[in-house]
Amino acid sequence: MKRAILLQTDPTTSKAHALNRFNQDALLLANTLLKARTSKHLMELHTRTYHNSKKATGFNSQVVCDIERSVIRCKGNILKAVTVKFNVPRNCHTFQTKKRFFVEFVPYPRRRIAVPVRNNENLRRYHHLIESGWTCKTYGLTANQQVVAYLQKEDTTAQPPSRENALGVDVNSKCFAITILSPEGRVLLQTYMGKDIWVKRKRMMIRKARLQSLADQGSHRAQRSLNRLKTREHNFVRNRVGEVVRDITLLALQYNADIAIEGLKRFSPKGRRFNREVLRIPFYQFRRTLEARCFDKSLVLIPVDPYHTSKWCSRCGAVAAHGHTSGNYTLFKCPRCGLTVNSDRKASLAVAVKSLLARNPSPDQRWFQVAGRRVPVSGLLRSDEEAARHSVPQTATADGKPTTFSRG
């Protein structure tokens, strides 16, 4: 398991000047290498440019190699900022005095810069993780002179046992739908979280559109306000997603439930409307944060197959052509029995059902009891021939052995 913590620095004037000069030289070198890049092969770029890079900047070998990796990973034609990583103990050290904690970088041979770190909640959380068994062998220096601690911890313990109930999470563009289900199919709790994320981001989008139009007309004040608003939006979404994940894990511990989410891939841009609606869903950030919190609290996280979770009827088991009614994306209406329910709530129920089926994937299990009705789950599962044609993620079963569901 890996995670990163941003440590705020408080350098003196001379150290801030030295760090600023180093960041400028690193960014200049990165853009120079970016212009000289002819392919995505790191060794080809390294053999052609390493000697000239060392001669022009005087950086340590590890710093030059890390900048080369950033250039290879860059998808555009220019880099506006670069975070340089320093490895411990070769080019980075940490030490602590009576009042301050320092991270010492070695960007040049025989030249060290000890950067003091502010004593705030991030530093206390960093020390808590280090005492809990996490290790940090790499520190990064950002363009705004902040320190990023890259921590990692190996899971040497056995996989935590499966809990009695299942908590299904459906992530959509406006909220997180939660359903807690017992093995007998009794719904213990259904709720929504994070509704304020979409409401506040919508207001921010309207304001950003106005500022962008003014910035296009040459207003520097509007451009500065737009940059500040983007930063505030990013921080708000990150904090609220963390709070939602905290509440979900607390519910899982309270109801003794495993957590199940859809095993979706990371989206790629397709169109203006698709990007505006779908790519604003913080699913990737939500999943990364949820994985880290489940690891800390010994909870089982089960990614299930998203196949027909939105189209499956929880009353009669029929599979509709669409996961919503015509013209209304918030409601689902079954074409067979006429059941009309909230589509997000029903999708979270289907995710919970799939996680319970993953515990006992017996071919004789054809029915699952939900709300006092016998519901066929064949619509929720793929046939063996169809599943073999899709990529397969792993999920955890009750006995600790992995079972598989195909991707949608």
Q: What is the pLDDT of residues 331-343, one digit of tens each?
A: 888 877 777 888 8
The domain limits of the chain are 2-152, 165-193+237-404
Question: What distances in angstroms separate CA 23 from CA 85, 133, 217, one per listed residue?
Answer: 12, 32, 31
Inter-helix orientation angle 220-254/283-296, to 10°? 40
- pLDDT at position 400: 40
pLDDT for 382 beyond 90: no
Q: How confident is the model at residue 406 (pLDDT cuts 50, 70, 90)?
A: very low
DSSP 8-state symbol, 322 = S
Among 53-62, 182-191, 394-403, name the most confident range: 53-62
State which H helix or E strand residue 111 sits in. Answer: strand 111-117
- pLDDT at position 296: 83
pLDDT for 297 beyond 90: no
- pLDDT at position 361: 53
Distance CA 339, CA 325 (A): 11
* Alpha helices by DSSP H, 217-262: 220-254
- pLDDT at position 393: 39
- pLDDT at position 396: 39
Rounded to the nearest integer, the mean pLDDT of the chain is 82
Query: What is the third-level CATH fold of 165-193+237-404?
Result: Nucleotidyltransferase; domain 5 (3.30.420)
**Whether this model's pTM surpasses 0.85:** no
* pLDDT tens digits along 261-280: 988 766 666 666 666 666 66
Q: Mean pLDDT, to the nearest integer, of 81-86?
A: 92
* pLDDT tens digits along 238-256: 899 999 999 999 999 999 9
